[in-house]
């Protein structure tokens, strides 16, 4: 007979200290406040206000009805891998071998797979910040340290100091993480900067983890007139120490689908294949058919979304520009504006206050690492009506 619960011996089984010490997301901390406020305008997370279009949903629904609910190849169904090869050829003029591609269960999963492969205890990863904070956790979970290299806000945009970036790397640096276009800054890395980082990584034997999730959300195009930011893939050889992470979430309005992809040297393929097995066993096959449609038929939709977000950017920049306390750094890409607020020393507390007093949800700049405090991030991927209403509500606190 078991002893009464009150008299049972207390057993404390340890968990890993590094996991116990992980910080909660400050973005989510603010987001949760809005759950109890029905009329809050949430511009805190990175997604638009439109659902996934029918031309993407219908092939996924058809595959589900056909019974494509079984395990699939871990690196993705062949149709999607081929669609990704075709997509990169059209967009960048490069031909990828099939064994360099892996479909993942979200871009976040791809980040985690990369860090599981590349870093461990005693290593460090150098991250260009302010940046999406989840990347810090992927390195810390593996026991690696994160070194932050902040961009500098200037009137003409955010700027990267390459000398400082290279100086931050030492003999224990295994990864340089760069998100371009950047979240939350909208910063876009130039081709010359990419070449310099790639040359440095080759010399030092350091991996580049390039987050190109927002590559399609660029508002001025490049010199070719295409709708895409520069990619490391255009410069790199197939065996360079480069891992590209991408996602269907942003450009195709598919945040809830949780499908991403990686491009990597072929020597990583077998390792990533095993890690996919041990993490998720692969992405849902019926959803992948929707991703095929997004790549094959989605260019008009991408162009429509970019036009919509460009209009949102201009509306928000114009309105914020008239607010006395606001300092603006104009974003080149993505769908955020990261703006400074004079006199704000605790962005988390200020963002919480805005939820209650202005009924507008913004992300605190401190969530994005050094260089972020003193700023707030606003996602402008919403209708003009919704953005205008949010600006009206923010004006008393920021004007």
Tokens for 218, please give them.
């660029």
Mean of pLDDT values over 305-314: 96
Pairing status of strand 242-247 against strand 207-211? parallel
Q: Which fold, 54-297?
A: 3.40.640
336 has a pLDDT exceeding 90: yes
Residue tagged 């224990």 (tokens): 172
Alpha carbons within 13 angstroms on the beta-carbon side of residue 20 total 5
Mean of pLDDT values over 223-242: 90
Res 11: pLDDT: 72
- Locate the domains of the chain by residue range: 15-52+300-398, 54-297
What Å distances lie between residue 58 and 35, 53, 63, 180, 385, CA to CA?
31, 9, 9, 31, 29
For residues 124 and 170, the answer to whether their CB atoms sit within 8 Å is yes
Mean of pLDDT values over 330-357: 96
Res 4: pLDDT: 57
**DSSP classification of residue 194:** H
Domain 15-52+300-398 indexed as CATH 3.90.1150.10: yes
Mean of pLDDT values over 346-366: 96
Mean of pLDDT values over 257-271: 98
Res 202: pLDDT: 98
Condensed to tens digits (0 to 9), the pLDDT of residues 35-66 reads: 888 899 999 999 999 999 999 999 999 999 99
Condensed to tens digits (0 to 9), the pLDDT of residues 104-135 reads: 999 999 999 999 999 999 999 999 999 999 99
Res 224: pLDDT: 61
285 has a pLDDT exceeding 80: yes
The CB density around residue 104, as the number of other CB atoms within 10 Å, is 30
Tokens for 189, please give them.
């890395």
Mean pLDDT, all residues of the chain:
95
For residues 38 and 373, the answer to whether their CB atoms sit within 8 Å is no
Rounded Cα distance between 39 and 32, Å, is: 14
Burial of 289 (0-12, 13-18, 19+ CB in 10 A): buried
192 has a pLDDT exceeding 60: yes
Condensed to tens digits (0 to 9), the pLDDT of residues 1-31 reads: 555 556 667 778 889 998 998 888 899 999 9
Rounded Cα distance between 210 and 195, Å, is: 13
Spell out the residues 6+ positions from residue 292 whose beta carbon is closer than 8 angstroms to its own: 59, 79, 80, 83
Cα 254 to chain centroid, rounded: 13
More confident residue, 377 or 1: 377
Rounded Cα distance between 129 and 307, Å, is: 27
For residues 361 and 42, the answer to whether their CB atoms sit within 8 Å is yes
Angle, helices 285-297/54-65, rounded to nearest 10 degrees: 150
The b/e string for 6-20 (b: 16+ C-beta within 10 A; e otherwise) is eeeeeeeeeeeeeee
Rounded Cα distance between 233 and 398, Å, is: 41
Condensed to tens digits (0 to 9), the pLDDT of residues 63-72 reads: 999 999 999 9
The CB density around residue 388, as the number of other CB atoms within 10 Å, is 14
Q: What are phi and psi of 333, to 5 degrees?
A: -160, -170
Q: How confident is the model at residue 174 (pLDDT cuts 50, 70, 90)?
A: very high
Q: What is the pTM of this model?
A: 0.94
Condensed to tens digits (0 to 9), the pLDDT of residues 148-165 reads: 999 999 888 999 999 999
- Which of 183, 250, 246, 258 lies closest to 210 in space, CA to CA? 246
């Amino acid at each position: 007979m078991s002893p009464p619960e009150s008299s049972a011996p207390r057993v404390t089984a340890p968990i890993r200290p590094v996991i116990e010490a992980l910080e909660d997301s400050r973005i989510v901390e603010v987001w949760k406040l809005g759950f109890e406020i029905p009329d809050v305008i949430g511009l805190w997370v990175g997604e638009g206000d439109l659902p996934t279009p029918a031309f993407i949903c219908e092939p996924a629904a058809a595959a589900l009805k056909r019974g494509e609910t079984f395990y699939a190849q871990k690196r993705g169904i062949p149709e999607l891998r081929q669609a990704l090869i075709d997509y990169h050829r059209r967009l960048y003029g490069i031909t990828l071998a099939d064994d360099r591609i892996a479909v993942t269960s979200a871009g976040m999963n791809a980040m985690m797979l990369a860090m599981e492969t590349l870093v461990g205890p005693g290593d460090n990863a150098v991250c260009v910040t302010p940046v999406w904070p989840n990347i810090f956790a992927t390195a810390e979970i593996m026991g690696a340290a994160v070194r932050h290299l902040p961009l500098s806000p200037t009137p003409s945009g955010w700027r990267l100091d390459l000398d400082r970036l290279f100086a931050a790397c030492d003999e224990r640096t295994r990864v340089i993480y760069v998100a371009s276009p950047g979240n939350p800054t909208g910063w876009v890395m130039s081709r010359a900067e990419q070449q310099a980082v790639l040359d440095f990584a080759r010399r030092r034997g350091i991996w580049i983890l390039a987050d190109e999730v927002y590559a399609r959300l660029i508002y001025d195009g490049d010199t070719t007139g295409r709708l895409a930011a520069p990619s490391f893939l255009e410069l790199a050889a197939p065996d360079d120490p480069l891992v590209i992470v991408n996602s269907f979430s942003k450009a195709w309005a598919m945040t809830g689908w949780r499908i991403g992809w990686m491009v990597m040297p072929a020597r990583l393929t077998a390792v990533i294949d095993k890690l996919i097995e041990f993490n998720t066993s692969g992405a849902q096959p019926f959803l992948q058919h929707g991703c095929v449609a997004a790549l094959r038929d989605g260019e008009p939709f991408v162009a429509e979304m970019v036009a919509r977000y460009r209009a949102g950017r201009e509306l928000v920049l114009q309105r914020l520009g008239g607010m006395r306390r606001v300092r603006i750094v104009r974003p080149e890409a993505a769908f955020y504006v990261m703006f400074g607020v004079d006199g704000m020393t605790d962005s988390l507390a200020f963002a919480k206050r805005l939820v209650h007093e202005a009924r507008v949800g913004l992300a605190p700049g401190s969530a994005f690492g050094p260089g972020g405090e003193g700023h707030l991030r606003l996602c402008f991927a919403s209708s003009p009506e919704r953005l205008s209403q949010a600006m009206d509500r923010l004006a008393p606190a920021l004007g």
